[in-house]
Amino acid sequence: MPGTCIELKQLEFQWPGATQPLLRIPELQISRGERVLLRGASGSGKSTLLSLIAGIHKAKAQQVFVLDHDLGDMSQRQRDKLRANEIGYIFQQFNLLPYLSAYQNVLLAQQFSPARRQRLNAQQSSHKQQAQNLLLQLGLTESDTERPAHQLSVGQQQRVAAARALFGSPALIIADEPTSALDADHRDNFIQILFEACRANNTTLLFVTHDASLAPHFDRAIELADINTGSGGWS
């Protein structure tokens, strides 16, 4: 459907070895440019749902549409390509390469993505300059952008992970508890910057958190248990 970023219909997912489906979601629709907070108890299946939307895993019975692509019809390779080009993923554990500098970690986002490279090439400045500018906007100092990731604080590493997700303007940002290690001031600042970057590009944001106080910042807050009738919905 035009204007729709994510559409789930009759999604059902069960981990191998589990006795029942973790996720059974009859329907969910998220519009392009919408900022959605997803909440749920620990172990209820939030990260699993994000991995299905990002095409990392695939459900047996599913209709998952992302940016008008039917993920059920796509091979792993095609889903990897869509993710590289159009989905910025901020992982709980950041997944930074420790001995690369902050800006080099950001540059990784375009390495496997011709679409991101093309959008970056349309700007005047070099890719390195654009990576550094994004890190400065997110609150790192110029010298921090040159430091290896393992020498940065947890909060700084979170910002590098966010910059890498945003680099090259993907259409969808998926963030899995990206503010869990930040204090309240840094958390609000981080969310404002993430929102500004998303607003500038009409980027959709799907943001998982345990922190109910963040809900007013978002267009919509979804409780996973309210949309899921699988085993994750009963906890």
Ligand X SMILES: Nc1ncnc2c1ncn2[C@@H]1O[C@H](COP(=O)(O)OP(=O)(O)OP(=O)(O)O)[C@@H](O)[C@H]1O
Q: Which is nearer to ligand X, 45 or 88 (CB)?
A: 45
Number of neighbouring beta carbons within 10 Å of residue 133: 15
Least separation in angstroms between residue 126's CB and ligand X is 37
Residue 225: which of 31, 5, 46, 36 has the closest Cα? 46
Pairwise CA distance, residues 155 & 186, whole Å: 8
Please check whether residue 35 is in contact with residue 219, taking contact to mean a CB–CB distance below 8 angstroms. yes
Binding of ligand X at residue 21 (CB under 6 A)?
A: no
Closest separation in Å from C-beta 94 to ligand X: 14
Candidates 142, 27, 202, 166; CA nearest to 87 is 166
Q: Is 26 in the site for ligand X (CB under 6 A)?
A: no
Q: Pick between residue 42 and residue 75 the one whose CB is nearest to ligand X.
A: 42
Q: Contacts with ligand X: how many residues (CB under 6 A)?
A: 11
Angle between helix 154-166 and 127-137 (nearest 10): 130
Q: How far is the CB of 48 from ligand X (least distance, A)?
A: 3
Site string for ligand X, 32-61 (x = CB under 6 A): --------x-xxxxxxx-------------
Is residue 234 within the footprint of ligand X (CB under 6 A)?
no
3-class secondary structure, 89:
strand
Q: How far is the CB of 226 from ligand X (least distance, A)?
A: 14
For the chain, give the longest Cα–Cα distance.
55
CB of 163 to ligand X, least distance (A): 23
Of 48 and 132, CB closest to ligand X? 48
Nearest approach, Cβ of 131 to ligand X (angstroms)? 29
Mask for 157-196, x = binds ligand X (CB under 6 A): ----------------------------------------
Sheet holding 87-90, edge to edge: 87-90, 172-176, 204-208, 35-39, 220-223
- Distance of alpha carbon 105 from alpha carbon 67, whole angstroms: 26
Q: Please report, as ranges, the residues that interact with ligand X according to CB under 6 A.
A: 15, 22, 40, 42-48, 232
